[in-house]
Amino acid sequence: MNTEQHDHDVIIVGYGPVGVTAANLLGGMGLRVAVVERDAAIYPRARAISTDEETIRIWQATGLAERLKEDMLAGRPIDFVDARGRSFLSLAPAPRGNGHPPQLFIYQPAMEQVLRDGVARYPNVEVLLGHDCASVEQDADGVTVTARDLADDTVRTLRGAYLVAADGGSSPIRTRLGVGFDGRTYHDRWVVIDTKIKRGWDTVDRLRFHCDPARPAVDCPTPLGHHRWEFPVLPGEDEQDLVSHDYIWRLLRRYGRTPDEVEILRAVIYSHHVRFASRWRIGRIFLAGDAAHAMPPWIGEGMSSGVRDAGNLCWKLAAVLRGELPDDALDSYEVERKPHVREMTAQAVRFGRIITERRPGLTAVRNAAFRVLTRVPAFRAYLQEAGWFPANAYRKGLLDRRGDNRAVGRQLPQPWVRTHGGDRARLDDVLAGRWTVLHTGPTRAWSAWAASGVACLRVTPVGSAPAPGTIVDTEDVLVPWLRRHRATVLALRPDAIVYAAGDTSLADPPFVTAPGPPVDERPLPPATTTTP
């Protein structure tokens, strides 16, 4: 057993969306955290442009979801248009049950500022900005990081039990560890143009994929008065010319935009990647976000997949550090997350093929086929209800599948419920990041869970009177979900994934010792305005 007293429980290298999410989650769990980030300030360019309801649900666990949503655009339609600007596919994704809008457009610098303000709530989290991670060494008892201050060249040595490497796609830590990053980089490169809106236009509020075989383009709303365009670099074009002022305006005028409507903030060239690290856990070091995987941007899930990594990993790190779960429970991180990321990446590649098809004959067939298919109710429902979107469900991992119940490994929906005091709350706020047994009654012993101090709550149908030990399913979501999955009792992990399920009985819990207290609650950060 490890008895060393570390200066920190977890060291995080990288302070982008994934690292700052992990810092908020671990800080709220009361762990001692150190963050090492090379840049002295938030990266000014808006890289990610959208997120989803599952990601907001993870940020809800940090207490920041509502503040973050203030700076996001939700409920915007999505259009796929042909070379003449005529729509051949239009949709507005329906919610998938997580209690937040299904798709939200973001302005990344502002989003990161809110998340960093959230970390400031926690005196147990130390953030070292402007520090280079000069070296990382690990042994049987912990991880040692040498952090060099880039301002004065002083060196700081940090010692922690575990390390989360959220240091981006080029990940120096992954490289030092000799972990492969297999996959491909696409030959096509893209110019990304970020603008500030001066005067709106009729389609300013919608995402439009211009599926023009001559030159595909992405035309995307972003909040706080911003808008983005993306264009491929065509054969024979000079990349330096593409980011020049004159050429940028040639591209934007192609879609009717003028200097009276937008101000150009910046233009950069980038490549699309499909890559996966061969290992996500290397001893006491875990790769997360772009350090572990890279995907094309076509369904806007690159950043969100990294945030899901943090949501999966952080509660397990806290449980192991508290002695509640064995160290090998951390092996489930890659086992659970990697298949989902692979599915998400494959779907992004498929969408990219639809959008970027360059052969005129095939684009004509594509456009006609979608115009016909969208008249078919079943197909339209499939699109609207995001049937194409890989569900956050795990086939293997930290789960008890001995009962073979199909609810195991799935994330429970999050409706609004009413507590025994009559208050209306989102389900996750009631569960408070704890292991919980939910059941539809009658109450049974479930002695092993009760002996571990796990709360047991009965779910009562819509219209029921609030009572101690119950939550009322005010939106009629939980009771039908349990019925569809042939379960009357569930054991939920802290991330609302079903660990075990049954008709009347539950498998024993996986704990070494009883789970600790719920997530710490601290005041929310003030509203913050970020300008480019």
pLDDT digits (tens, 9 = 90+) for 390-447: 888 999 999 998 877 889 999 999 999 999 999 999 999 999 999 999 999 887 778 8
Cα–Cα distance between 123 and 522 in angstroms, integer?
11
* pLDDT of res. 1: 40
Residue 521 has pLDDT above 50, yes or no: no
Cα–Cα distance between 312 and 336 in angstroms, integer?
8
CA-wise closest residue to 496 among 412, 417, 383, 405? 412
Domain-embedded: residue 132: yes
One domain for residues 336 and 422: no
Domain-embedded: residue 303: yes
- Per the structure, the complete domain to which residue 151 belongs is given by 8-72+104-181+274-353
Domains identified in the chain, total number: 2
pLDDT tens digit sequence for 144-193: 999 999 999 999 999 999 999 999 999 999 999 999 999 998 877 899 99
The stretch 459-486 carries a mean pLDDT of 95
Q: Looking at the DSSP assignment, which residues form a beta bridge with residue 13?
A: 36, 165
Question: For residues 425 and 483, is the Cβ–Cβ distance under 8 A?
Answer: no
CA-wise closest residue to 206 among 224, 220, 226, 223? 220
Domain-embedded: residue 406: no
* pLDDT confidence bin for 4, thresholds 50/70/90: low
**Residue 171: exposure state from Cβ atoms within 10 A (0-12, 13-18, ≥19):** buried
Domain-embedded: residue 224: no
pLDDT tens digit sequence for 454-472: 999 999 999 999 999 999 9
One domain for residues 428 and 333: no
Which of 320, 353, 386 is where one domain is finished? 353
Domain-embedded: residue 209: no
One domain for residues 137 and 63: yes
Cα–Cα distance between 280 and 292 in angstroms, integer?
6
One domain for residues 306 and 453: no
Domain-embedded: residue 135: yes
One domain for residues 156 and 34: yes
Residue 334 has pLDDT above 50, yes or no: yes
One domain for residues 29 and 161: yes
pTM of the model: 0.94
